[in-house]
Structure 1
Amino acid sequence: MHRKGAKLVAFGVFVALALIFSYIEACIPFQIGIPGVKLGLANLVIVVALYKMPVREVYILSIVRVLLAGLLFGNMMSIIYSLAGGLLSLTVMWALKKSPSMSLIGISIAGGVCHNLGQLLMAMLTVETYGVFSYFPILMVSGLLTGLAIGIGAREMLLRLGRLQF
């Protein structure tokens, strides 16, 4: 029972951290004029969780984070877009993590790019036009840069967490 309680507490800490990062990101006036470009600070928690928790729990964490952050700092459309991007991103990162040739930073970069791709696919379904894909080159570069930054941050966090598993 003690182990189950500790896992629940760790899960709560991860949710809280993700919401704190979402709040910080909501407070930062980061606008470059392109819809969907964000820093993605809360994804740092998801990448770390992918290396520290069972994948089923990471999916639950990702969904809970998106729902709570959307309800607190966004709207229904932000929840829909974030879920599409987050679930595609997490699925790709989980699959790539199985490959011994993929580094944590490479996995994070792929996650950043796929997050934007998932949002674009959802936008295409929502607005019923392929025109939104004209944003893809810019969002790909954005996902690459933010994925790199998140990957570096996750690597540093994982070094400090050591062998601790949740």
Structure 2
Amino acid sequence: MENKTRRLVVIALYTALALILSYLESLVPIPMPVPGAKVGLPNIVTLISLLTLGTPLTLLIVTARIFLSGFLFGSMSAILYSLAGGLLSLGVMALLLKAAREKLSLITISLLGAVSHNLGQLAVAAAVVQNMNLFWSYLPFLMLLAIPTGIVVGVAANLLYRQLQKINLFK
């Protein structure tokens, strides 16, 4: 019983933290060359959740965060774009963590997650407006943005994960 309760509390905390980071990210305008581009701070929680809870529960957390932030601070279109990017990114990072965790750093996995997030959102945007030129014209900018944002998220997740390991929260 205690493990189930503890896991439920951790899921709720991760979801709340990801939602707060999403909200804070929307409040702080960071000058980006592409409209709507963000750092992706909630992905810190996604990475930590993948490492501590596994893919199925992280899928629950990511989906809950996307719908909650969309309903509270965004729109239905924001939910659509976030789902595309968030779920593709989650899938890529989960596969990389499972297949190559010893070979790839958390920073590299985060960077590839950022790239896949941008690809997912860009694919949906091109499909919505039915214009593949949109995809190809924004692709270079979004790939370049994925590098610093993926690194920032990866470094933050790596530091946080090391601290969580020290306090034995998940043993």
Aligning the two structures, in what range does the TM-score lie when normalised by the shorter sequence? over 0.9
TM-score between the two structures when normalised by the length of structure 2: 0.93
1:25 Cα deviation after fit: 0.6
- Find the residue that maps to 1:50 and give its secondary structure: helix
RMSD value, Cα: 1.3
1:157 to 140, 160, 164: 160
1:32 Cα deviation after fit: 2.8
- Find the residue that maps to 1:36 and give its secondary structure: coil
The runs of 5 or more residues in structure 2 that have no matched partner are none
| Equivalent pair of 1:36/1:116 in contact (CA under 8 Å) | no
Q: How many pairs align?
A: 166
In the alignment, structure 1 residue 25 sits paired with structure 2 residue 28: no
In the alignment, structure 1 residue 143 sits paired with structure 2 residue 146: yes
TM-score between the two structures when normalised by the length of structure 1: 0.95
- Find the residue that maps to 1:44 and give its secondary structure: helix
**Matched residue type, 2:124:** M
The runs of 5 or more residues in structure 1 that have no matched partner are none
Distance between the aligned counterparts of 2:150 and 2:129, measured in 1? 27
Distance between the aligned counterparts of 2:120 and 2:148, measured in 1? 17
1:102 Cα deviation after fit: 1.1
Instruction: Calculate percent identity across the aligned residue pairs.
Output: 42
Task: Note the alpha carbon deviations across 1:51-104, whole angstroms, 9 max, x for none.
Answer: 111210001111001000111111111100000000000101111112121111
1:33 Cα deviation after fit: 4.5
Distance between the aligned counterparts of 2:169 and 2:50, measured in 1? 13
Deviation above 4 Å: which 4+ runs of structure 1? none
